[in-house]
A and B are shown apart, each in its own frame.
Chain A
Amino acid sequence: KAGVTQTPRYLIKTRGQQVTLSCSPISGHRSVSWYQQTPGQGLQFLFEYFSETQRNKGNFPGRFSGRQFSNSRSEMNVSTLELGDSALYLCASSWGQEIYGYTFGSGTRLTVV
């Protein structure tokens, strides 16, 4: 079965621009979570969606937002990009209640210049 698909794999943006990243979960999975991974801070939780509702949010500024569609696909948006937003953005999906059921995608590598 297909895994978690994240698009695009690589992205280069300029400071001040905005960006939208996409995540298609494993078929049947209703929960999608987003994480930011940087060398300095490691993996940090951004937000989690289940059936189009945000259930949990990490400690990130309001420039980071997300949404989930009725087919469980999710997007995250970062507005007014800063150099420090350069990171690997990982999406994980699961059936819904069990965190150990996470399957991660390969991530989107965002570089802000």
Chain B
Amino acid sequence: GQQLNQSPQSMFIQEGEDVSMNCTSSSIFNTWLWYKQDPGEGPVLLIALYKAGELTSNGRLTAQFGITRKDSFLNISASIPSDVGIYFCAGPRHSGYALNFGKGTSLLVTP
């Protein structure tokens, strides 16, 4: 189906380290989205990807739309304490006007 499998489930890293997380699906997606959720808040869009093979950056964040259209990757370089939060991948539901979300990657950064 359209289930999104996100890994790793959690990461505990030191400030300054680089981070990689990924998302896979058995279905093809035409759009991949990456969100971040801070404690007590709603998710905020970080990066949107629209084309297979696309590589897009937003500051220290870089995301790629997999060639097979069934996966996507998010990298964070030189992590800082404010990167703490839960990162979600998402793709459009086949029925439209809504998103399927991965279960999220919880990131903890120690100074």
Contact = CB atoms under 8 A, between A and B. Distances in A.
A104 B44 contact: yes
B97 A105 contact: no
A100 B48 contact: yes
A17 to B, nearest CB: 25
Interface of A is mostly: strand
Contacts of A48: 97-98
Contacts of B59: none
A45 B45 contact: no
Contacts of B33: 99-100
Interface string A46-67: 0010100001101000000000
Interface string B35-50: 0000011111100100
B44 A42 contact: no
A104 B43 contact: yes
A19 interface: no
A90 interface: yes
Interface of B: 31, 33, 40-45, 48, 88, 90, 92-93, 95-104
Given A42-B103, A42-B104, A104-B44, 20 more contacts: A42-B101, A44-B101, A45-B99, A48-B97, A50-B97, A55-B96, A55-B97, A56-B93, A56-B95, A56-B96, A56-B98, A58-B98, A90-B42, A99-B33, A99-B97, A100-B33, A100-B45, A102-B45, A106-B41, A107-B41
Interface of A: 4, 31, 33, 35, 42-45, 48, 50, 55-56, 58, 90, 92, 99-100, 102, 104-107
